[in-house]
Structure 1
């Protein structure tokens, strides 16, 4: 269910709390002392959730910085929880620090503007009455230790930074669950072992023991049916998939961008054969890795054709204007010929990842950066990154983790050991949580430990790309003493494990920027014809390199004043889609199998 706000753990009955909420700005931070969590008086305006107040779709369009905002609404549960049930209140994301009350009862707090949290509101309910939900969101817009991504700290957007996103900006929803229920569910594929590992976290320790029953299916075909008994709150089991043991059979079960096969899952908690809780989910059977300078998908070299995705909409900013827009964003990138997206400085809505899973789009997941280095920065980044990896590590589309970008927030990594340790530490922490995916310590330059060496190279011409990445000797010079940017590519003496080199930002061409614009892109062209020619020259140069393992084009859409998208902010193509696709999908020299596959497809078409 890709419209469900939590697509990997779905119960059929849930209540969407989007729509009108009471709203109050608290510029003087008087609300806590004034008891606004109990007083309806301050909420004189209306905001449409989940759109941030800075956006038009919120109904407010208030772009002035706000440190504290409050939300209020009444909640009439679709049904009241029974004697052995609980009512949970879920928030997809609230930027940056949230406190929540129901009927004046403080439920708790959450810090981190991009990750979900939930509260059990059952004990705060007043039987037979409307329930009042109040949220206080604190967003210190000029606190540079706060992970913010590309949200501007100035009053108005400048350069490559955009309007802020304050408060609630992802779905709010409620569901009634059994007192003993499945709280978390994770899947880890094992392609060589023809299995997936299932991790289940329960809401509490079961007493007495319960059975966990899982069924994996592909259409009507049952691939696995397994029951596991547990007396623990956390369980981990290997679910064998016998059909995947046969190499020829395995091919139809594997997840790829061309054939994004997903295995449907139903997981039940059983006690004495009676269902206590049941959820649906899905898993993708695929592997990722690196070897000999190539990125691997399912053990085979895969050339990465990524596009930088800001996933920002004019009317709603970081929040999608509607669930369909999330699907359309994936479709647009795929229609253009890309096989992956690098979601830039944003943790995207899980429904976007679900569409990437279903439509076949690889994802580089990147943590929004802070901009000032301090112990508090490290603490905040680490806490939020742990929640990101926990939320998204079951998505087969996510193929790479990126905790830092271009040394943002660790500006002096080359000279300050603590900052180098920070990027290396998050690399190792990520690998400790998920050893199945490549991790990039600091994309762009100044890599400490990385499984992929991502370089940002806004070369003005295809000829310069050809010269820089012509062969192994040229590539070695780039990685040592002649980096494409003004910062070194590698710091210290990182272990060499056959890391692929990916030009993880290139292009940035702006079509006819406005005169006097403060920022438009890394280069400007005057016509669509010139845009198409320069695009083709740069992409051809990358595809002709025998050493490069992929690229990421900057960028998918125009965003605020950054007008270097292949699509306008309204998602209209600047070049014919088929022309872009023809350029992007030409076989890469570094991946000979692509040319072989292309020849086979051409032969079949002739027949």
Structure 2
């Protein structure tokens, strides 16, 4: 039964390179990307999937709102009734119903999370018709990120997309198959714990099912190529497999941007002596904690974050990159310029994007895209999609913290304590900590924190001297900077465009719990947005690279911050403040920028550490 996996260096023929979701990949997957028929307002056209409506490469001119009917024929020459046909959708914006031969097989709400349905019962031998009915709008009540919620793009909200924007594929499996896997490193006990779910978890157990017939065989390949076979594991009575192995057993090698060590792992599901399903995956061993002073601890060592904002837009594909090389080059450009991370802003990227970050070695953040007006229905949709995304993406070592909301967008109700919005936000904070205790969270990025693990701060102040003054006031615990909240000041901030002259209070209220008090005591803050030079107003008449150097040097020597995030990596449409153009051409000397990112702070911590 033991057979070595070909885990040679990742190349064009690797399952990890080819599969839409390298963290849960079967070699037998069947791509359904390519030409589909699409109908909108009684007009039919041909669309190139996975490029969304609203992008040049989609090949259609439809506006990004309304109802879209996707259809494609699927030829099945042999229909084995002992097999199950699973249809997988990477992401489809926003509300989707799937029909096979005019029978509804499933529905999903949310434009960022993945979903899958068993379509077996609706199939027949011969030609089958798959249809997706997708509805999208510019509604401010739905999770939409930076897609405009007005009729047209405005300020820093861009044109929207609709429909399929990630891959769609099918897998043919046995009636009992592997559905989901979780790996949880325990760095206190030096143990890797695993939980593998099968299709039996959500289904009624057949009367004649013998659990004892099923076993799981696991093969792990270390970054050095050592092969570790775990003893066969028996299925429990809920249709799951649980296992653990010690760090010494797997020759523990820790993941970091400087050493992006990845383990390959293969799961073989057996019924008696027959292998009935195989899934290949990978993992990295990386711990992240926030120290008592607010510093980031990666694998137990202090790490200064130097990130750039990445919004995940592409000139011809909108939300979808024109090719995989563009994603890879974005990551390599970050590293070439001396950054060790990317803040993925107002978008959840694909599992493939995260795979490349894991493989190449760059820190990332998870940020839930915003809605802009609160509603009970919107709250429910946000909660469900957040759960789905956490479950899908927990295993990526590159992702080191989660952002739930940004700059109070859509959640102004938190200004009233115990309001419906306030209760909802606190519920999401508690839920996220429970679902993924391995990562710290930012409750409301930028300002007006109410319950956060990481204190972060945004500013686009128009002169370096003004920024230095704000840093000094924060260091002196100036109460107006920390707690000086006023609804009228918030209103004036937007009405009079004070973004270049003022900041918002870091905390919404004075501390009231022990967690609040501990959080306020932390010396270090993450400056998760600054810069924006070339777009935001700046009164200093220096070149952009000189501005970057002055502002960045001040951040480091202030000894106030645990890291920073520069806005932004590349231009996005009319927002021309990138280090690269929208077409990914360099605007800044990378060697000069790399030297800026190597400035040493008062504690002797280099940005390159």
**2:312 equivalent to 1:281:** no
* 1:417 partner SS: coil
**Cα displacement (A) at 1:470:** 4.4
**Cα displacement (A) at 1:374:** 2.0
**Cα displacement (A) at 1:580:** 1.1
Matching residue of 1:33: none
Matching residue of 2:66: 67
Any conservation in 2 of the 1:88–1:118 contact (CA below 8 Å)?
yes
Matching residue of 1:135: 132
Alignment of 1:308-347 (within 5 A): 308-347=309-348
**Cα displacement (A) at 1:134:** 0.6
**2:263 equivalent to 1:239:** no
Matching residue of 1:208: 211
Matching residue of 1:265: 265
Alignment of 1:135-534 (within 5 A): 135-141=132-138, 143-204=139-200, 207-209=210-212, 210-218=214-222, 219-223=224-228, 225-231=230-236, 232-243=238-249, 250=252, 253-291=253-291, 292-418=293-419, 419-470=421-472, 473-474=475-476, 477=479, 478-481=481-484, 485-493=503-511, 494-497=516-519, 499=522, 500-510=524-534, 520-523=535-538, 530-534=543-547
Any conservation in 2 of the 1:406–1:444 contact (CA below 8 Å)?
yes
Say if 1:101 and 1:574 are closer, same or farther in 2 by CA, change over 3 A: same
Say if 1:2 and 1:474 are closer, same or farther in 2 by CA, change over 3 A: farther
Q: Distance in 2 between matches of 1:476 and 1:196?
A: 45
Q: Distance in 2 between matches of 1:293 and 1:581?
A: 25
**Cα displacement (A) at 1:523:** 4.0
* 1:442 partner SS: strand
Matching residue of 1:578: 591
Output one character per residue of 1:64-85: Cα deviation in whole Å (capped at 9) or x when no partner: 35211111111235x7553422
Scaled by the length of structure 1, what TM-score is found? 0.88
User: RMSD of aligned C-alpha atoms?
Assistant: 2.3
Matching residue of 1:31: none
Matching residue of 2:571: 558
Deviates more, 1:556-565 or 1:322-331: 322-331
**Cα displacement (A) at 1:495:** 4.0
* 2:279 partner SS: strand
* 1:281 partner SS: strand
Q: Distance in 1 between matches of 2:78 and 2:597?
A: 54
Output one character per residue of 1:413-435: Cα deviation in whole Å (capped at 9) or x when no partner: 22353233222221111001011
Matching residue of 1:13: 28
Any conservation in 1 of the 2:309–2:569 contact (CA below 8 Å)?
yes
Q: Distance in 1 between matches of 2:299 and 2:588?
A: 33
Scaled by the length of structure 2, what TM-score is found? 0.87
What is the number of residues matched between the two proteins? 560
Say if 1:166 and 1:525 are closer, same or farther in 2 by CA, change over 3 A: farther
Q: Distance in 2 between matches of 1:226 and 1:195?
A: 16
Any conservation in 2 of the 1:509–1:521 contact (CA below 8 Å)?
yes
* 2:142 partner SS: coil
Any conservation in 2 of the 1:295–1:302 contact (CA below 8 Å)?
yes
Matching residue of 1:117: 115
Any conservation in 1 of the 2:598–2:606 contact (CA below 8 Å)?
no
